[in-house]
Amino acid sequence: MVLELNLRELTLQQISEFIKSKCSEYGTVLSVSLRLFPIPTGKSFAVVEMASPEENAKLRETVGDGYFAEGVVVHLMHKTGDATENSDR
């Protein structure tokens, strides 16, 4: 799954808050670390650390693409406009 949001118009804090709000559906989010790259490459992602290994596993199964250190990798895709949403890519 990919989280789609406007990576050009949103601030880093807004992007982090959006990711945190989406991931908090699966438990307590301890941290969100962004890895943003130029939009045409489409390779931006966040590493989200949850409060427990069980919550990390739940997030990984539903939203994430793998593990990185203590967190779960969540891919981000630029979407023009104000909308932010989930995509099943």
Using 50, 70 and 90 to split pLDDT, how confident is the model at 2? confident
- Express each pLDDT in 37-81 by its tens digit: 887 777 899 999 999 999 999 999 988 788 888 899 999 988 876
Task: List the chain domain ranges.
Answer: 2-82
The model's pTM is: 0.81
Beta bridge partners of 48: 32, 72
Strands 45-50 and 2-5: unpaired
Tell me how far apart the alpha carbons of residues 44 and 24 are, in angstroms, rounded to a whole number.
Answer: 20
3 state DSSP class of 1: coil
- Express each pLDDT in 5-49 by its tens digit: 889 889 999 999 999 999 999 999 999 999 998 877 778 999 999
Architecture in CATH for domain 2-82: 2-Layer Sandwich (3.30)
